[in-house]
């Protein structure tokens, strides 16, 4: 795909495509039309769009308490700003960094203890630190339990990125944190943490009263809330994986074991008038009112990403529409 228009919309080259940008264009392509069916979006990983997903009552109550206390109306101190910028740490000996995303997005993979330990040991041999993106931490429902990378801090220093967004179903709060796991004190000599904090000095950070609510949210959330979320995600992922088996032009090579999304390979040779993944997504949006993220947006041309953090009934309906669309556009082969 080159600069120009796709289905009547201005598009940039793949390197400039953003997830939010292309999802907005997909929604715009069906806005203003009269339809008897509702639009079902499986493109953005936002479970709050579906009534079956709710955050725990603890979260808003903690925010209200912090706000009404009147103690958090000023600027936040540096140490509370939960963002991480690693543009330059001033560490001449640190030539590379190992980044682990676990549970994975967009494939839903969950690494085993043994695999993560090997990564830690390899990083130690290479004398590099590990950044562990665990925004989807604990949202697992497969054979592998979630293992925090920080448990290997005695082998290699680990910076863990965490967030309220997914596990607590509040992505709009935009609040996260980083934690260092470094019992051997390997961060102290190059002053990694101190240099990171200097970057925080130039950041405004999330609202102070939401930051102040975090301790209460972490301490008081009942385990039942987490189990309910995981059960819905498992049911939805099973529905998604099973229904996709009924669609010849789409294949899902890996059944998700965590997070909220899966990747599907698009077989264009079985479709008559679909040029690529972006063309597929625009046409299905217009014809079936289903929003799917083209793989190009995450660097995988002619793949598709579906977010299964959706109401199971709506998901069944959406996948039925996907099947109808693919059958309608399938090539007719001579016998």
What CATH number does the domain containing 160 carry?
3.40.640.10
- In a domain, residue 212? The reply is no
* Share of the chain residues as helix, strand and coil, in percent rounded to the nearest 5: 40, 15, 45
What is the distance of C-alpha 169 from the center of its chain? 12
Looking at residue 4, its pLDDT comes to 44
- In a domain, residue 113? The reply is yes
Handedness of CA 20, 26, 28, 34 (dihedral sign): negative
What is the distance of C-alpha 29 from the center of its chain? 24
Q: Which of 6-10, 44-48, 308-312 has the lowest mean pLDDT?
A: 6-10
Which backbone phi and psi does 161 adopt, to 5 degrees?
-100, 125
Q: Which of 9-13, 28-32, 182-186, 223-227 has the lowest mean pLDDT?
A: 9-13
What's the token pair of residue 23?
Answer: 């999802």
- Does 50 share its domain with 81? no
- In a domain, residue 211? The reply is no
Parallel/antiparallel/unpaired status of strands 9-11 and 4-6: antiparallel
- Does 198 share its domain with 233? no
- Does 253 share its domain with 198? no
User: Which of 205, 232, 252 is at the close of a domain?
Assistant: 205
User: Which of 205, 235, 259 is at the close of a domain?
Assistant: 205
Looking at residue 76, its pLDDT comes to 73
Q: Is the pLDDT of residue 319 over 80?
A: yes
- Does 14 share its domain with 129? no
For 101, half-sphere exposure in the C-beta direction (CA atoms, 13 angstrom radius) is 8
- Residue 17: pLDDT band (50, 70, 90) is confident
Each residue's pLDDT tens digit, 124-140: 998 888 999 999 999 99
What angle (nearest 5°) sits at the alpha carbon of residue 62, between those of residues 60 and 68? 100
Looking at residue 184, its pLDDT comes to 80
* Count of the separate structural domains present in the chain: 2
- In a domain, residue 85? The reply is yes
What's the token pair of residue 42?
Answer: 């499986």
Looking at residue 203, its pLDDT comes to 66
- Does 284 share its domain with 164? no
Looking at residue 221, its pLDDT comes to 96
- In a domain, residue 69? The reply is no
As a whole number of angstroms, the distance between CA 26 and CA 285 comes to 6
As a whole number of angstroms, the distance between CA 286 and CA 303 comes to 19
User: Which of 205, 233, 256 is at the close of a domain?
Assistant: 205
pTM of the model: 0.85
Each residue's pLDDT tens digit, 150-160: 999 999 999 99
- Residue 191: pLDDT band (50, 70, 90) is confident
| Torsion angle of the four alpha carbons 188, 196, 76, 201, in this order, in degrees rounded to the nearest 10 | 120
**CATH (domain of 277):** 3.90.1150.10
Each residue's pLDDT tens digit, 223-247: 999 999 999 999 999 999 999 999 9
What is the rounded average pLDDT for all residues in the chain?
86
Mean pLDDT of 278-287: 96
Higher pLDDT, 44 or 201: 44
As a whole number of angstroms, the distance between CA 203 and CA 82 comes to 10
Q: Are 83 and 208 in contact (CB under 8 A)?
A: no
As a whole number of angstroms, the distance between CA 211 and CA 267 comes to 46
Residue 330 DSSP symbol? B
Looking at residue 189, its pLDDT comes to 67
As a whole number of angstroms, the distance between CA 25 and CA 31 comes to 10
- In a domain, residue 215? The reply is no
- Residue 82: pLDDT band (50, 70, 90) is very low
As a whole number of angstroms, the distance between CA 250 and CA 107 comes to 15
Each residue's pLDDT tens digit, 266-275: 999 999 999 9
Structural domain harbouring 120: 77-205
């Amino acid at each position: 795909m080159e600069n120009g228009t796709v289905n009547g919309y201005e598009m940039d080259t793949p390197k400039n495509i953003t997830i939010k940008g292309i999802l907005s264009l997909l929604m715009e392509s069906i806005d203003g039309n009269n339809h008897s069916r509702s639009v079902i979006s499986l493109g953005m990983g936002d479970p709050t769009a579906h009534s079956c997903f709710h955050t725990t009552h603890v979260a808003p109550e903690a925010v209200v308490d912090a706000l009404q206390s009147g103690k958090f109306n000023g600027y936040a101190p540096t140490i509370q700003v939960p963002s991480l910028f690693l543009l330059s740490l001033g560490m001449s000996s640190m030539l590379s960094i190992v980044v682990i995303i676990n549970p994975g997005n967009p494939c839903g993979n969950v690494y085993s203890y043994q695999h993560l330990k090997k990564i830690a040991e390899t990083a130690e041999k290479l004398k590099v630190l590990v950044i562990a993106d665990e925004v989807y931490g604990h949202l697992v429902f497969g054979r592998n339990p979630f293992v925090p990378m920080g448990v290997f801090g005695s082998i290699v220093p680990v910076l863990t990125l965490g967030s309220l967004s997914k596990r607590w179903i509040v992505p709009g709060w935009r609040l996260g944190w980083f934690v260092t796991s470094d019992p051997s004190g390997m961060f102290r000599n190059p002053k990694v943490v101190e240099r990171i904090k200097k970057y925080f000095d130039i950041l405004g950070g999330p609202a102070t009263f939401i930051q102040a609510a975090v301790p209460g949210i972490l301490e008081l959330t009942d385990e039942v809330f987490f189990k309910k979320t995981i059960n819905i995600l498992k049911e939805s992922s099973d529905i998604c994986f099973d229904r996709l088996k009924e669609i010849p032009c789409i294949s899902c090579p890996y059944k998700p074991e965590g997070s909220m999304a899966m990747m599907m390979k698009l077989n264009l040779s079985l479709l008559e008038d679909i040029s690529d993944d972006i063309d597929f997504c625009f046409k299905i949006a217009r014809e079936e009112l289903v929003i799917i993220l083209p793989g190009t947006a995450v660097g995988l041309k002619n793949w598709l990403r579906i977010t299964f953090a959706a109401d199971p009934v709506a998901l069944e309906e959406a996948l039925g529409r996907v099947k109808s669309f693919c059958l309608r556009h399938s090539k007719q082969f001579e016998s």
